[in-house]
Amino acid sequence: METDCIPFKETNYFSSLITDYLEGAEFLNDFIHYQPHLDSIQEAISSKKFSESKREVLVNQLNGQYKASKIKLSKSPLVEANIQALKASKTYTVTTGHQLCLMTGPLYFIYKIVSTIKLAESLKQKYPDSNFVPIFWMASEDHDFDEINHFHFKEQTLSWEIASKTGVGRLDTASLNEVRKQLESLLPELNIHASKLLDKFDQAYQNGYDLANATRVLAHELFAAYGLVIIDGDDQELKKLFIPHLKRELLEELSSHKVEEQSKLLDAQYKLQVNPREINLFYLTDDYRARIIKENGVYYINDQSKSFSEEEILEELENHPERFSPNVLMRPLYQETILPNLAYIGGGGELAYWFQLRSSFEAFGEKLPLLLLRNSVLFLNRESLDTANKLAWQSKDFFLPLEKWLKEWVVRNAEADWTLEMEKEKTVALYHTLESKASLIDTSLEEHVKALKQKQLNSLDKLSEKLIRSDRKKQGVAKDKIDALKAYSFPNGKLQERYSNFFEFYLAYGDDFIKKMMENLSFPSNQFFIIRE
């Protein structure tokens, strides 16, 4: 395979906040603790404090979670070694996380994990005396079911249709039989990769697991060979480690005040990603996940009949910490509390809300990890690559708006110069002469001549557009090819990685697909990757 790159900024798919961050904008230094490059890791290691007792709890709970998923770690020696290594003081984690999307959801689920594994490998080479464990954090407490209940495959949307109000990780996967039937109907017969796809679906979703354990089984199947450790924060013993911060949030509404301060500063130049609540916690049961709201000293569970006095809610916290679920602004703090973590790898939207958290972290006595933008990839199969080559597309051309794509192709392949650049140059020269002559008589006539020149140039621009449109109609076959290439590269008008599911690629390449990503991607990187088969 061949790999090409284009700077994130040149794709026009990333916010100014993210591109400025990657370019080291001085304004953003007040919103982070570490600069986004590997040299910052040494500083992060020096700052990281993580007790032996926390390591013991972390390892015990990870072993228990894998046992609940019926995963025999003895069959995954690198994963088992990484979990056990977490007991050692010189072992650190690098982490990514995501929602529990059905069958992993969009491709960037895969790219996030690949980025994290690549980072752990790079750090081990740079700091051989320490160990670095790649962690995938399952967002099992998220209750936005509509965001995770589907995936796209073969131009179809396969959806899981059930009612859900609680954390999605607790959902029973037994009702996924209809999705399996849909999937099977879309798979080609006598294809070994198709058979393996169904096996992976069955292994994860047809063995009586809840969605959290099913997701662990699937991600483990894909990445165990690379030592990925998968953690579920919906865990009573892990939540116990978080009780001191949860207590302060309930009593002081600390994150709200601090995030608000930070957000006002960030909002001066960039659009905010999220807005804080007074209390950034939910109350979580098997039936619902609902906001905790404080009014006149009483803690109410939103849209429920349940309420607590201050004394009662603190007693509930001590006895049942698993019922207190951090929202998007508290979840990063929870992660950093229970992991010896150095870096978080996320998408642009994720990093944007991390930038709102520095003052909140400091108030709780924690530091932000090193924040790194995950790999982004456009994968071109042979058919799309052949089309691109015939059209002489360069890497940057893939990111142009469709109309601009079409216009540039027509101009490139036209029998004549429909941009009329020569005619425009002659027009400018002519009116320059006229301006000089007019000024000899009356200097006020110069503005009149300039207006006539601009009017003539505008007319030439309109004529140019008409000529290009007419020529485009004559080149209808080429337009069809461009449309098809655009649809493959940007399905439904989105980046391929934000829409297509890895099943599409597994069907063609099997387990080699992830292997190819591991071989062809480097991390960290400030470049968008284009990988050609």
Average pLDDT across the chain, whole number: 92
pLDDT digit string, tens, across residues 434-471: 888 887 787 778 888 788 888 888 887 788 777 667 76
Residue 515: what pLDDT? Answer: 94
pLDDT digit string, tens, across residues 39-53: 999 999 999 989 999
Q: Is the pLDDT assigned to residue 476 strictly greater than 80?
A: no
Report how far apart, in Å, the C-alpha atoms of 315 and of each of 90, 254, 414, 450 are.
36, 20, 77, 79
Instruction: With residue 92 as reference, give the H or E element that holds it.
Output: strand 91-98
Residue 475: what pLDDT? Answer: 63
Q: What is the pTM of this model?
A: 0.89
| Cα 344 to Cα 361: distance, rounded to the nearest angstrom | 14
Q: Is the pLDDT assigned to residue 328 strictly greater than 90?
A: yes
pLDDT digit string, tens, across residues 142-188: 999 999 999 999 889 999 999 999 999 999 999 999 999 999 999 88
Q: How many residues does the chain have?
A: 533
| Cα 341 to Cα 498: distance, rounded to the nearest angstrom | 27
Q: Is the pLDDT assigned to residue 94 strictly greater than 70?
A: yes
Q: Is the pLDDT assigned to residue 477 strictly greater than 60?
A: no
Q: Six-digit token pair at 298? A: 């009483």
**Three-state helix/strand/coil letters over 327-347:** CCCCHHHHHHHHCCEEEEEEC
Determine the average pLDDT of the residues in 292-317: 96
Q: Is the pLDDT assigned to residue 392 strictly greater than 90?
A: no
Q: Is the pLDDT assigned to residue 73 strictly greater than 60?
A: yes
> What are the helix (H) ranges across 69-102?
77-85
pLDDT digit string, tens, across residues 359-384: 999 999 999 999 999 999 999 999 99
Q: With CA atoms as reference, report the closest residue to 258 among 349, 350, 362, 355.
A: 362
For 420: left if phi > 0, alpha if psi spans -120 to 50, otherwise beta; the answer is: left
Q: Six-digit token pair at 504? A: 């599409």
Q: Which amino acid is at 342?
A: L
Contact 482, 405 (CB under 8 A): yes
Contact 82, 56 (CB under 8 A): no
> What are the helix (H) ranges across 143-206?
177-186, 192-205
pLDDT over 70 percentage in the chain: 96
Contact 316, 257 (CB under 8 A): no
Identify the sign of the CA torsion 405, 406, 410, 411.
negative
pLDDT digit string, tens, across residues 252-272: 999 999 999 999 999 999 998
Residue 482: what pLDDT? Answer: 80
Residue 390: what pLDDT? Answer: 82
| Cα 200 to Cα 444: distance, rounded to the nearest angstrom | 79
3-state helix, strand, coil in the chain (%, to 5): 55, 15, 30
**Three-state helix/strand/coil letters over 272-304:** CCCCCCCCCEEEECCCCEEEEEEECCEEEECCC
Residue 430: pLDDT band by 50, 70, 90 thresholds?
confident
